[in-house]
Structure 1
Amino acid sequence: MDGRKAHRRRTLIGAKILLNGGSSVLDCVVKDLSDGGARLIMDGAIAVPPADFDLHLSDGRVFHSCRIAWRQVSSLGVSFSQPSVNAA
């Protein structure tokens, strides 16, 4: 067990990170997903600021108020402060 509160599921889902209320959009791929967070793969992940952002998955789910938990050169770990909703 790795200390996570929720079980992680491997995925390969395209997604978009929306920063500053959607004024900046970054493409990423969700590699692992749980009820409490995700691992995102993207170019330049180390440069993404440690602010809250929204995460829009290509399958229609939206996670609001995501926060970066950890970062590496090409991946980010994020936590969800709110459950997902379906995009309208």
Structure 2
Amino acid sequence: MAKIRRAAPEPADRRISPRVRTADKARVVADTGEAWPCVIKDRSDGGSRLLFRAPVTLPPMFTLVKESDGASRRVRLVWTAANEAGVAFAD
């Protein structure tokens, strides 16, 4: 009889607040005026995960602007991986 293997537990989620999946079109606007389109893949009270069409080099701080309503937030870059980035709200 084969032994049943249990999956390892998922690593603990370090977010303070739960995340909500989204597909909001947005753009990242650097202080220099340079901008990159992106999609906000998920968000929480503390930040968001952004998806870009291709890898981009982002500044440490920038403004994230939602296309649907023009709402903007000042954000701090927390992590990047391939064509994704995680940001924390600075305001």
TM-score, normalised with respect to structure 1: 0.81
Q: Taking every aligned residue pair, what percent have the same amino acid on both sides?
A: 31
In the TM superposition, 1:1-88 aligns within 5 A as 1-21=12-32, 23-42=33-52, 43-45=54-56, 47-49=57-59, 51-60=60-69, 61-64=71-74, 66-82=75-91
Task: Give distance in 1, aligned partners of 2:41 and 2:14.
Answer: 19
Runs of 4+ residues deviating >2 angstroms: none
What is the TM-score with the length of structure 2 in the denominator? 0.78
Secondary structure of 2:14's aligned partner: coil
Distance between the aligned counterparts of 1:7 and 1:38, measured in 2? 11
From the two aligned structures, give the one with the greater strand fraction.
1
Between structure 1 and structure 2, the one with the greater Rg is: 2
Query: RMSD over aligned Cα, in angstroms?
Result: 1.3
* Residues in 2 aligned to 1:6 and 1:59: alpha-carbon distance in whole angstroms: 24
